[in-house]
Amino acid sequence: MSTFAPMRSLPSFMVCMSALFVLLQVPADAARDNAIVADLSEDRIGISTRFTGADVLLFGATEGHGDVVVVVRSPDSSVIVRRKERVAGIWVNADDLTFDDAPGFYHVASSAPLPDLLPESALKAEEIGVENIEFKPHDFLSAKEETSFRDALIRNKQRSGLYSRSPGEITFQGDRLFRTRVALPSNVPTGNYRVSVHLVEGQQIVATSTTDLSIEKVGFEAKVTEFAFEQAPIYGAIAILIALIAGWFAGIVFRKV
């Protein structure tokens, strides 16, 4: 069973040469001051039953001076956050709130602390940093209640390794070449990710480069998932049949014991 995984390491010389090659591909009319280009060591990650996570190397070059901010974001999806309460000594689910547009994976990296690079208004407008992600609650709650559920959502995602706890590091080689690594956990969701690379100068974003990262299931697991979506009634019937057979077999085993 094959697994598409990015290279774990890349010599500095190769990073430099690759970044220069990418830079040379910029059309003449786009090669202006403060331009930025970037690419990934692997733009497609395959998830199989043996997938344990992967590292993706992002590298690039700038046409002008400045700092770099990278944001990697998966497609948004609906997420339910439940609050537990203790009733008669037992923890049970109490209130819940659904957020309609929450990224399944979010990673940010920067060449300097974010507050030093951009004002708070710009960070919020571009949704840079987990605290600036715009979650949209499905139901109306007070500001205090919404903040409580929002904080719980971020904590859960960070605990699962799906959201950055702090910005990753971007390193420069010389004045123009940069690179950073994006760690993908084993539970990373599938989908077409958007990778945004911003060039920052003078407390503002002066150029942005975007690229795509595809994460998809491969092998037997992909076939099962595809079958479940395309033949849902048959898949459900097979699942029930397997459960009945497993229960019948377990009953025989325990009866003999």
pLDDT for 30: 40
pLDDT per residue as tens digits for the range 61-74: 998 789 999 999 99
Name the residue ranges covered by the structural domains of the chain.
12-217, 218-257
Q: Is the pLDDT of residue 178 over 90?
A: yes
Using pLDDT thresholds of 50, 70 and 90, give the confidence band for residue 243: confident
Q: Is the pLDDT of residue 199 over 80?
A: yes
pLDDT for 141: 79
8 A C-beta contact, residue 226 and residue 58: no
Identify the bridge partners of residue 45 per DSSP, sorted by sequence position. Answer: 215
pLDDT per residue as tens digits for the range 140-174: 878 888 899 999 999 999 999 999 999 999 999 88
8 A C-beta contact, residue 77 and residue 100: no
User: What distance in Å separates the CA atoms of residue 147 and residue 150, rounded to the nearest whole number?
Assistant: 5
pLDDT for 232: 67
Q: Which residue is listed with tokens 């092998």?
A: 219
The second-level CATH assignment, the architecture, of 12-217 is Sandwich (2.60)
User: What distance in Å separates the CA atoms of residue 94 and residue 96, rounded to the nearest whole number?
Assistant: 7
Report the share of the chain in percent with pLDDT over 90.
49
What is the reported pTM?
0.73
Using pLDDT thresholds of 50, 70 and 90, give the confidence band for residue 83: confident
Report the share of the chain in percent with pLDDT over 70.
72
